[in-house]
Amino acid sequence: MDDVYSPFPWLDELLTGGADTVRCGFADMRRHRDRPGDLPFALSLMVRMDDGIMDSIANGPTRPYFEEYTRVNRLIDDLGASVVGRIEGLGYRARQVPASATANREKLTASFSHKQAATQAGLGWIGRNCQLVSREFGPRIRLGTVFTDLPPVAAAGAAITKSFCGKCDICVKSCPAGALSGKSWSPGMLREELFDAVVCNTWKNRQFAHLADGSKGLCGICVSRCPRGKAARRKVTRADNC
Ligand code: SF4
Ligand code: SF4
């Protein structure tokens, strides 16, 4: 984000990516209906997943992927709780939406789509794999959201309103369940137009639940294969080698 300034150093650090694997952006959510507590703004929190583990699941998930997924979700929830505590300490309201929570078990939807806040905060777009594709890390990330009435202390990021997947359809072709429609995202599109959650979930649970201690299965093939995530890895590797 450009021109970031806030009187709160902890927030500056989050907004400017103080940690190498964490990114954060402010989103103006006043136009959105499903806001908890009618809070007008959102801090979208994004944490990068381990590249070595993500590379290793191109043909199917592994136990380390399940552990990484769990670790990063926990990290986001801890980060969110700490942000909520700081904001409430300033006398404002804040409410966290956990990284991974299914509110409607039949439709497999969450109480709030973190991706909405992330696109609104300018952190990325929704790819053909129905995941948030970050400019920096591709889809190798997990998201959380903190809603608040703390007035934006930094300029809200310019919302991303189009897909940058171009003609790529690698994720669509690599999905073993055939759950991805191949359509290109635009704001306001229903999730069902991009992706069949029931087909994806049935596949994951049938194939991979044993990796997840019998809880809901994970897959991640469409995330691992995305060239945007691999390109991010190449950049890091080059920088590391300099
Ligand atoms: S997680 Fe697996 S089954 Fe689900 S859409 Fe991605 S590749 Fe397909
Ligand atoms: S694999 Fe290609 S189409 Fe799928 S999300 Fe990544 S860039 Fe978009």
Write down how long the chain is: 242
Q: Give pLDDT, residue 3.
A: 46
Q: Which residues pair with 133 in a beta bridge?
A: 125
232, pLDDT greater than 80: no
How many A from CA of 153 to the centre of ligand 2?
33
How many A from CA of 165 to the centre of ligand 2?
5
Which of 131, 137, 170 to mutate for ligand 2's pocket (most ligand atoms within 8 Å of CB)? Answer: 170
How many A from CA of 47 to the centre of ligand 1?
20
The answer to whether the CB of 59 falls within 8 A of the CB of 44 is no
What span, in angstroms and rounded, lies between the C-alpha atoms of 120 and 104? Answer: 24
The answer to whether the CB of 115 falls within 8 A of the CB of 45 is no
pLDDT tens, 29-65? 988 877 787 899 999 999 999 999 999 998 889 989 9
How many A from CA of 46 to the centre of ligand 2?
19
Retrieve residue 2's tokens.
Answer: 């450009």
pLDDT tens, 61-102? 998 999 999 999 999 999 999 999 999 999 999 999 988 765
Rounded to two decimals, what is the model's pTM?
0.87
Exposure string over 191-222, b if 16+ CB within 10 A, otherwise e? beebbbbeebbebbbebbeebbeeeebbbbbb
User: Mean pLDDT, the chain, as a whole number?
Assistant: 85
Task: State if residue 142 touches ligand 2 by the CB under 6 angstroms criterion.
Answer: no
pLDDT band at 6 (very low <50, low <70, confident <90, very high): low
Which ligand 2 atom sits nearest the alpha carbon of residue 172? 4
| Domain spans, the chain | 9-241
Give burial (CB, 10 Å; 0-12/13-18/19+) of 53. Answer: buried
